[in-house]
Amino acid sequence: PKNFALAKAHVAAMRSLRELKGRAFDRAYLRHEVDYHNAVIDAVTHTLLPAIQNAQLKDLVTKVAPAFVAHRDRAQNLLDQQK
């Protein structure tokens, strides 16, 4: 949905990224990725997982969730290298 907070944040991020070039773009893109993954990790951990009733679905989400952490950590590592 267009009024979903992450969707609004994505639109705003894409708007600001279009104006950037080079190192400024790289840093802003990586910052956005870290923030986005943090939001997803928070939503999965505090909203999605506690609400899931189906054991198979909960197992799937539990197995996939660490990938978000790994992606966030990799983006953070690259961002840290940009300093």
Query: For residue 8, what pLDDT is reported?
Result: 84
Q: Residue 2: which pLDDT band, with cuts at 50, 70 and 90?
A: low
Query: For residue 9, what pLDDT is reported?
Result: 83
Contact 16, 28 (CB under 8 A): yes
Q: How far apart are CA 67 and CA 83, in angstroms?
A: 25
- Residue range 25-78, pLDDT digits in tens: 999 999 999 999 999 999 999 999 999 999 999 999 999 999 999 999 999 999
Query: For residue 6, what pLDDT is reported?
Result: 77
Q: Which one has a higher pLDDT value, 24 or 11?
A: 24
Please name which of 61, 30, 31, 56 lies closest in space to residue 43, comparing C-alpha atoms. Answer: 61
Which residue's structure tokens are 């290298």?
Answer: 81
pTM of the model: 0.82
